[in-house]
Amino acid sequence: MSLETPIKIRMLQRKLYQKAKGEPHYRFYLLYDKMYREDILAHAYALVKSNQGAPGVDGQTFWGIETLGLEEWLVRFDSDQATSSTQSASTTVDRLTSLRPEKIASRPVAPSHS
């Protein structure tokens, strides 16, 4: 796989960039379906592997992924993330709405992976 960004991913990046620049107050709440596309995950995997990326918080290594098979891992990852992202998104929104406005800017909010 080439490390050059595929044209379909570049087109998506460009559309998101144009939308963000054209409408500065627009909020992209539903990008999970875009992030978990198989072509995007495969390209991201290739980029991280080319940089000898370290295992993530789950301890998953390249060796472990390739033992299972990259395609099988991508399918599992996609289904796991699609399920947890729906739960995480609603949890994040609940946490954001409970924060006081002056605290939101100073407090990082990361989705929990319960």
- Can you say whether residue 52 is alpha, beta or left, with left for phi > 0 and alpha for psi between -120 and 50 degrees? left
User: In the prediction, which pLDDT does 87 show?
Assistant: 55
- Phi/psi class of residue 69: alpha, beta or left (left: φ > 0; alpha: ψ in -120 to 50)? left
Nearest to 31 by CA among 112, 113, 111, 106: 111
Which residue has better confidence, 74 or 92? 74
State the pTM of this model: 0.57
The pLDDT, as a whole number, for residue 53 is 80
In the chain, domain spans: 7-104
Rounded to the nearest 5 percent, the helix, strand and coil shares of the chain are 65, 0, 35
Pick the residue with more confidence: 51 or 99? 51
pLDDT band at residue 79 under the 50/70/90 scheme:
confident
- Computed over every residue of the chain, the mean pLDDT equals 75
Token digits of residue 100: 């006081």
Predicted confidence (pLDDT) at residue 25 exceeds the cutoff of 80: yes
> How far, in Å, CA of 60 to CA of 109, rounded?
24
User: Looking at residue 35, what is its pLDDT?
Assistant: 80
86 pLDDT tier (thresholds 50, 70, 90): low
More confident residue, 43 or 81: 43
